[in-house]
Amino acid sequence: MDFATIVGIICAFALVCSAIMLGGDIGLFLDVPSLMIVLGGTMGATLINYPLPDMLKVFKVVKNAFFHRGVTVQGTIADFVTLAGIARREGILALEPSMAEMKDEFLRKGLQLSVDGLEPSSIRDILGTEIVSIQERHKLGSEIFTTLGTFAPALGMIGTLIGLVQMLKTMDDPSSIGPAMAVALLTTFYGAILANLFCLPVAGKLKTRSNQEVMMKELMTEGIISIAKGDNPRIIEQKLNAYLPLELRESSFK
Amino acid sequence: MDFATIVGIICAFALVCSAIMLGGDIGLFLDVPSLMIVLGGTMGATLINYPLPDMLKVFKVVKNAFFHRGVTVQGTIADFVTLAGIARREGILALEPSMAEMKDEFLRKGLQLSVDGLEPSSIRDILGTEIVSIQERHKLGSEIFTTLGTFAPALGMIGTLIGLVQMLKTMDDPSSIGPAMAVALLTTFYGAILANLFCLPVAGKLKTRSNQEVMMKELMTEGIISIAKGDNPRIIEQKLNAYLPLELRESSFK
Amino acid sequence: MDFATIVGIICAFALVCSAIMLGGDIGLFLDVPSLMIVLGGTMGATLINYPLPDMLKVFKVVKNAFFHRGVTVQGTIADFVTLAGIARREGILALEPSMAEMKDEFLRKGLQLSVDGLEPSSIRDILGTEIVSIQERHKLGSEIFTTLGTFAPALGMIGTLIGLVQMLKTMDDPSSIGPAMAVALLTTFYGAILANLFCLPVAGKLKTRSNQEVMMKELMTEGIISIAKGDNPRIIEQKLNAYLPLELRESSFK
Amino acid sequence: MDFATIVGIICAFALVCSAIMLGGDIGLFLDVPSLMIVLGGTMGATLINYPLPDMLKVFKVVKNAFFHRGVTVQGTIADFVTLAGIARREGILALEPSMAEMKDEFLRKGLQLSVDGLEPSSIRDILGTEIVSIQERHKLGSEIFTTLGTFAPALGMIGTLIGLVQMLKTMDDPSSIGPAMAVALLTTFYGAILANLFCLPVAGKLKTRSNQEVMMKELMTEGIISIAKGDNPRIIEQKLNAYLPLELRESSFK
Amino acid sequence: MDFATIVGIICAFALVCSAIMLGGDIGLFLDVPSLMIVLGGTMGATLINYPLPDMLKVFKVVKNAFFHRGVTVQGTIADFVTLAGIARREGILALEPSMAEMKDEFLRKGLQLSVDGLEPSSIRDILGTEIVSIQERHKLGSEIFTTLGTFAPALGMIGTLIGLVQMLKTMDDPSSIGPAMAVALLTTFYGAILANLFCLPVAGKLKTRSNQEVMMKELMTEGIISIAKGDNPRIIEQKLNAYLPLELRESSFK
């Protein structure tokens, strides 16, 4: 799991809890029916919004996004330079032995299509469709968390309205107004916490990860097409380096 | 009707009701004039917003979207591989007998155009127009629910303003302030429930379903064009598999 | 004027008025200075926002959009099939006599360009520019109503702030607080009604109508280009039917 | 300065002032520190947001947009028909004498490029870049006013929070609560007025003017390209008329 | 650091502080636990939202954007005219000596590709990828500040809810209500200040700077391609001048 997420979650929740404890008992902030309305209602609204299989797939997408392999862009560029060298010297069929060891399915499929002799434009079409459908699936994960983060404050407000109506209808004892209102506000508090310290930041992280992965796949497509066209390894390196900031570029040709 | 929707609706409403009942009588939350303002006003605003025939079409779109046939992507890809095999061995005219049994109108129309000998680019144009106009019709359904979900809280606020003005103008008896305000808040409550536990999630579901259907139609277009061009069944399978996540891909060639 | 708009306006306003009357005197909700701030201020802000000629054009656009001729898509498709038949049998010049009777200027101009012998790609360019500028003009109408609907609640809030400041500064008699606050809230109420029961739904209707008209013009462009290219009437019918949902398609070839 | 803007500003401010005066002394609504927070803070935030030269350029853009030359579309189309006639009869070089009198720099540059013998596609590229960079500069003006209109209510709220905190901390004399709160609300009032009766409508007007100018430049590009290609004046008129609504079209060929 | 930012920050904060001091002691507005919730919570939520390396990169992006070299567009255009002159007279290889002195990496890389003899379309592809990935990296900086500016008011509201709940639960002494509420409002105040006087304007500045840099890179791409194609220096100047407003254009050919 990536470090920033752990630090972020601990930091955010620790601060909120310690701020609460500075001001009094943390038990004041626990109310089971309020939690039920916010958590259950938000889940319910999201279940109406998305098909069940999509909801279940989310856990996998989230796991993939958080436990994220450390493939570096520089390493991938260096691999392409090596592959392009082999393909130029020994012909594209000579890539088949090294393909067996590749971990990335996308890369393997793309090179297989080149070895099979498809035209570069067909390879680009197939890999492009693949990237679009990866993007769609990732977008779904991020969208579901955004939806949770939109319904959570709404359910929080609904809970507060319920509490306010009950309090106002039965306003006999003035001394009970304060505590009743405090409880009514708790659902708004839960909704705001759930949305702003969990759902929305996670949705943001999934989006960032997806953009990184799509960028990587586009770089790979560019590299595969260049190999299929028989480009010079130096040119391929220059093409692929364009995806990196200047200070991170490395060259195999010194 | 799909399972997630039922679970979601039951879960959301059951939780809200039980939360209300934990705090007191559910009868406090029923007020017919308030319901009239929110439901009637929202319907009225939406009727000004959309032509009547569009409003009536919505029920059909909704029904189609919820009771949704279980055509799997994998099955469709396998069908295309079979069709491509027939077309390659026996010529494209040999597809006509199998077309009679197809349930999907879009697929049948597309294959008919290929059998009629239209050029692939014309087929792509016609099927593309068809997809765009399917999308337009689906978008309408989702838009109408989004509009309902936008006007509902606004009408809720209008109702609350009416209640507040009436209460404030005739503020003789201080003990009546609480209950009058509770009733005034009920319209806001109805608006929030209607929007967040019904209209907006349904709009979301319609959008998701529409995206899935459009993806399926694009896959079909790709398959039909490939058959019309006389592509190799293996290539067609690889092209169409690009629409699926890796772990769901199946191959007819093992 | 289309039926849904009438029903919608009556339904929405009748409900709001009856809800008001159930709770007391409707006279409480009339306050001329409040109306002046909301109506006048909203008009003023919108006049700063749009050039005067655009504001005046709006009335015409609105009238066109509401009193909307009942040209059906099916009828137009049938007309194109007939025209294509004439053009194929007797040459494209044979269309000139039937053009005189056409009511739609766009259709007449397009066919005139074909008869004049322009190339299909030039016809598509000219008609495309025409569609884009129709869209721009329609968008203006819808945008002006959206702008009115955005400024109305803002002016309502400004009015309420004025009322609150006056009430708070001169808070001598506690019994006058309630009624003064009620009057202050009236501008918010007017702003919400003006925006949600008039401006925003009308903006929505204008957008829907514009989309329908643009779709019709695109269908006509497709038909005109096909006639100019000398396409087979059956193919034209199939191309144009793609704009219609399946259940509304009719065929002249049975 | 265009008429609608004057009418709008007078109408909006006169109504707000008279509404204030109906309810009491207008002096209640003047508070110098509140004005300082809202005006100064909004200017400050906008200065952080935009580079200084851009802020200074705004005054010029605004002046250009408000004092706007009365070039009519019809006149421009008629000019192009005349120019196209000259170019056809006497060759494109014959346009040089009439170019000296043209006031519009864009038109002159475009025709100069045609006379210099550049290919139509290069002319389109250069004029297209020019239009994009005009759009960018105009967008900046509109964006700066939108930014002002976004920060103004935020600063208004900040001012109100300052007032509320000061009032609540030193709540000794109950009779001072009302007036203190009134002053606190004044910043919100100033923010709302500044945003809704000045910044946002002016941003809207700048956007509308920019769209009109861009449309004019696109029409000119179309005309220049057509002249460079040696199109027939009648065809040019039909192409350019597509930018106008039907009822405003005039023809030089009757 | 650019002048407008300093003026803006000083102006905004000085005004807010002096407005506070006019109304009383500035010490009332300092509360350490409130600051902790808003600053810490906002940082925490943003750390969940973005990967750690991206957060660290931000400081560099910000520094680059604020301390921004004064390369003028006019100077760059004049340089291109000179380079194009050399390339035309002495061949493109004659550019190599002057390339060594160029400070801009992008320009140097582009010219190197031309000198290496790549085709103009490949150069455009490589430089285009480079521009897109520069844009992505800049967008990240601006997005992180926008995210900070979105979470800050949300955390402010969460802090206020905590304060309100604690105050309402333990409402024994009426005289303590005011000050307790004042403290509760402080987090909202901090959130609003942090978002509107720091995060959002800085995000806006980063966006503006990025647009300027991208425009410069596009101008350079246009110039490099034109040199690679062997265009006439006069034509190159006209092409590149299209990026400048009329009054700033200078010509090397008088």
E68 band by pLDDT with thresholds 50, 70 and 90: low
Give the closest residue to A157 by CA, choosing from A184, A180, A183: A184
Chains C+E touching (3+ CB pairs under 8 Å): no
Pairwise CA distance, residues B168 & A139, whole Å: 49
Contact E221, E186 (CB under 8 A): no
Could B2 and A113 be called an inter-chain contact, meaning their C-beta atoms sit closer than 8 Å?
no
CB-count burial class (<10 Å; 0-12, 13-18, 19+) for A89? exposed
- Which residues of chain E neighbour A239 with C-beta distances below 8 Å? 125-126, 129
Give me the residue from B41, B157, B170 closest to C16, CB to CB.
B41
Task: Note the pLDDT tens digit of each residue in A39-50.
Answer: 989 988 988 888
Q: What is the pLDDT of residue D150?
A: 94
pLDDT of C155 over the 90 cut: yes
pLDDT (0 to 100) of residue B92: 85
| Cα E181 from Cα D130, distance rounded (Å) | 57
The verdict on a CB contact (< 8 Å) between B48 and C205 is yes
Residue E133 touches partner D, C-beta closer than 8 Å: no
- Which of B26-35, C135-144, E218-227 has the largest mean confidence? E218-227
In this structure, what DSSP letter does residue A157 have?
Answer: H
- Check: CB of residue C141 under 8 Å from CB of residue C62: yes
Residue D246 per-residue DSSP state? G
Token pair listed for A242? 């364009």
Check if the beta carbon of residue A123 is closer than 8 Å to that of residue A110: yes
Would you say E112 and E99 are in contact if contact means Cβ atoms under 8 Å apart?
yes
pLDDT digit string (tens) for E160-173?
Answer: 999 898 888 876 67
Q: Residue A153 pLDDT > 60, yes or no?
A: yes
D67: contact with C, CB 8 A cutoff:
no
Q: Tokens 């009408």, residue?
A: B155
Q: Which whole number is the average pLDDT over C43-52?
A: 86
Q: Which of C15, C18, C189 is nearest to B41 (CA)?
A: C15
Helix locations, C170-245, DSSP H? 177-194, 200-229, 233-241
The pLDDT, as a whole number, for residue A189 is 95
How long is chain C?
A: 254
Task: Point out the residue among A2, A10, A182 whose CB comes nearest to the CB of E165.
Answer: A182
CB contact under 8 A, B48 and C208: no
Q: Which residue of A46, A48, A139 is the best one to mutate when testing the B interface, meaning the one whose CB has the most B CBs within 10 A?
A: A48
Give the chain D residue whose CA is nearest to the CA of E177.
D168
Q: How far apart are CA E168 and CA A178, in angstroms?
A: 5
Rounded to a whole number, what is the largest CA-CA distance in chain C? 91
C-beta atoms of D16 and C162 within 8 A: yes
D47 in Cβ contact with E8 (< 8 Å): yes
CB-based contact B126 C238, cutoff 8 Å: yes
Contact A224, A114 (CB under 8 A): yes
Write the CA distances from C182 to B211, C159, E29, E165, E212, integer angstroms.
Answer: 48, 12, 34, 29, 52
Contact A205 E45 (CB under 8 A): no
Any chain B CB within 8 A of the CB of A168? yes
DSSP state at residue A72: -
- Kindly indicate the confidence band of residue E67, based on its pLDDT and cuts at 50, 70 and 90: low
D64 pLDDT band, cuts 50/70/90, is low
**Cα–Cα dist A127/A136, whole Å:** 14
Q: What are the φ/ψ torsions at residue A30 (nearest 5 degrees)?
A: -110, 125
B136-157 pLDDT, tens digit per residue, is: 888 888 899 999 999 999 999 9
pLDDT at E217 over 70: yes
Task: Give yes or no for a contact between A36 and B17, defined as CB atoms under 8 angstroms apart.
Answer: no
Q: Which candidate from C2, C9, C22 shows the least CB-CB separation from B51?
A: C2
Residues of chain E in contact with residue D176, where contact means CB-CB under 8 angstroms, are: none
Q: Is A118 exposed, middle or buried (0-12, 13-18, 19+ CB in 10 A)?
A: middle
Query: Subunits that touch chain B (at least 3 Cβ pairs < 8 angstroms)?
Result: A, C
Average pLDDT, chain D: 85
Residues 189-228 on C with a CB inside 8 Å of D are none
Average pLDDT over residues A54-83: 78
Residue of chain A whose alpha carbon sits nearest to that of B29: A165
Q: Which residue has the tokens 């994009």?
A: D132
On the question of pLDDT at D174 being above 80, the answer is: no
Query: pLDDT higher for A10 or A145?
Result: A145
Confidence class of residue D70 from pLDDT cuts 50, 70 and 90? low
Angular region, D117: left φ>0, alpha ψ -120 to 50, beta rest: left
The answer to whether the CB atoms of E181 and D168 lie below 8 A apart is yes
List all residues of chain E from 5 to 34 with a beta carbon under 8 Å from chain D: 5, 7-13, 15-16, 18-20, 22-24, 28-29
**Cα–Cα distance for residue pair A213/A207, rounded to 1 Å:** 10
Return the closest-CA partner of residue E127 out of E38, E227, E238. Answer: E227
Using CA coordinates, name the residue in chain E closest to A178.
E168
User: What pLDDT is attached to residue E2?
Assistant: 64
For residues D173-191, give the mean pLDDT.
Answer: 86
D-contacting chains (≥3 CB pairs under 8 Å): C, E
How confident is the model at residue C104, as a pLDDT? Answer: 84
Tokens coding D209:
């003017």
Segment B163-182 shows an average pLDDT of 81
- Using CA atoms, how far apart are residues C123 and C110, in angstroms rounded to an integer? 7
Kindly tell me if the per-residue pLDDT of B108 is higher than 60: yes
Chains B and C touch (3+ CB pairs under 8 A): yes
Burial class from Cβ neighbours inside 10 Å (0-12, 13-18, 19+) for residue B187 reads: buried
What is the residue-wise DSSP string for chain B?
Answer: --HHHHHHHHHHHHHHHHHHHHHS-GGGG--HHHHIIIIIHHHHHHHHHS-HHHHHHHHHHHHHHHS-----HHHHHHHHHHHHHHHHHH-GGGGHHHHTT---HHHHHHHHHHHTT--HHHHHHHHHHHHHHHHHHHHHHHHHHHHHHHHHHHHHHHHHHHHHHHHHHT---GGGHHHHHHHHHHHHHHHHHHIIIIIHHHHHHHHHHHHHHHHHHHHHHHHHHHHHHT--HHHHHHHHHTTS-GGG---S--
Q: What is the DSSP letter of A38?
A: I
Q: Mean per-residue pLDDT for B192-220?
A: 90
Tell me what the mean pLDDT of segment A22-36 comes to: 83
Predicted pLDDT of residue C254: 61
Amino acid letter for position C88: R
Mean pLDDT of C110-127: 88
Could you give the ipTM of this predicted complex?
0.84
What average pLDDT score do residues E198-223 get?
Answer: 89
Supply angle C-alpha D202, D208, D212, rounded to 5: 145
Q: Is C54's pLDDT higher than 70?
A: yes
User: What is the average per-residue pLDDT within B105-127?
Assistant: 88
- Angle at Cα B214 formed by Cα B208 and Cα B219, nearest 5°? 130
Subunit contact D238:C113, Cβ cutoff 8 A: yes
Q: How far is CA B166 from CA B35, B180, C35, D252, in A?
A: 17, 9, 18, 65
Greater model confidence, D138 or A219? A219
Lowest mean pLDDT among A59-63, B187-191, D179-183, E73-77: A59-63
pLDDT at C224: 92
Give the model confidence (pLDDT) of A107-119 as tens digits.
888 898 888 888 8
pLDDT (0 to 100) of residue B205:
87
C130-145: pLDDT as tens digits: 898 888 888 888 899 9
How far apart, in whole angstroms, are the C-alpha atoms of residue B208 and residue B66? 11
pLDDT at position A64: 67
Q: Which of D49, D54, D168 sits opposite E182 (nearest CB)?
A: D168
Q: Is B91 left (phi over 0), alpha (psi -120 to 50) or beta?
A: left
Q: Residue D185: list chain C partners with CB under 8 A.
A: 161, 164-165, 168
pLDDT at A19: 79
Q: Count of CB atoms within 10 A of residue D101's CB?
A: 7
- Looking at per-residue pLDDT, the higher value among A143 and C174 belongs to A143
Given an 8 Å threshold on Cβ–Cβ distance, is D162 in contact with E7? Answer: no
CB-based contact C193 B158, cutoff 8 Å: yes
Q: How many helices (H) and strands (E) does chain A have?
A: 11, 0
Looking at the complex, report in whole angstroms how far the Cα of residue A93 sits from the nearest Cα belonging to chain E: 26
Kindly provide the residue ranges of all beta strands, DSSP E only, lying in E40-164, ordered along the sequence: none
Q: What is the pLDDT of residues A208-227, one digit of tens each?
A: 888 888 889 999 999 999 99
**Torsion sign, CA atoms B12, B14, B19, B25:** positive
Q: Is residue D188's pLDDT more than 90? A: yes
Question: What is the pLDDT, as a whole number, of residue D68?
Answer: 62
Asked whether the beta carbons of residue B162 and residue C4 sit closer than 8 angstroms, the reply is: no
Chains that touch A (3 or more CB pairs under 8 A): B, E
CA distance B241 to B229: 18
Which two tokens mark D68? 């706007």
DSSP structure class, residue D67: S
Q: What is the pLDDT of residue B64?
A: 67
**Closest chain C residue by Cα to residue D191:** C158
8 A C-beta contact, residue D189 and residue C164: no
- Per mean pLDDT, which range of A143-157, C83-97, D10-24 is the poorest? D10-24
Please indicate if any CB of chain C lies within 8 Å of the CB of B36: yes
CA distances from D56 to C124, D140, D144 (A): 44, 11, 11
Mean pLDDT of the D116-134 span? 87
Say yes or no for a CB contact (<8 Å) between C165 and D185.
yes
The proportion of chain A whose per-residue pLDDT surpasses 90, expressed as a percent, equals: 20
Confidence of residue E103 (pLDDT cuts 50, 70, 90): confident
CA distance E234 to chain A (A): 30
- Tell me, what's the pLDDT at E65? 61
* Interface probe with E: pick from A167, A196, A219, most Cβ of E within 10 Å: A196
**Rounded-to-integer distance, Cα E177 and Cα B107, Å:** 70
Residues A228 and A153 sit within 8 Å (Cβ to Cβ):
no
pLDDT given at position D242: 84
Q: Is the pLDDT of residue B221 over 90?
A: yes
Identify which has the larger pLDDT, E147 or C16: E147
Are E201 and D46 within 8 A, CB to CB?
yes
Residue to mutate among D3, D5, D6, D15, with most C CBs inside 10 A, is D15
Contact B35, B190 (CB under 8 A): yes
Residues 6+ apart with CB under 8 A from B93: B115
pLDDT of residue C17: 85
Q: Does A37 touch chain B (CB under 8 A)?
A: yes
pLDDT, residue B48, reads: 86
User: What pLDDT is recorded for position C64?
Assistant: 67
Q: Which of E45, E136, E169 sits opposite A196 (nearest CB)?
A: E45
Q: What does pLDDT average to over chain A?
A: 85
Chain C residues touching residue D16 (CB < 8 angstroms): 37, 41, 158, 162
Whether A15 sits inside 8 A of E159 (CB atoms) is: no
Under the banding of pLDDT at 50, 70 and 90, the label for residue B65 is: low
User: Which range has the worst mean pLDDT, A58-62, C242-246, E43-47?
Assistant: A58-62
Q: Does the pLDDT at position D71 exceed 80?
A: no
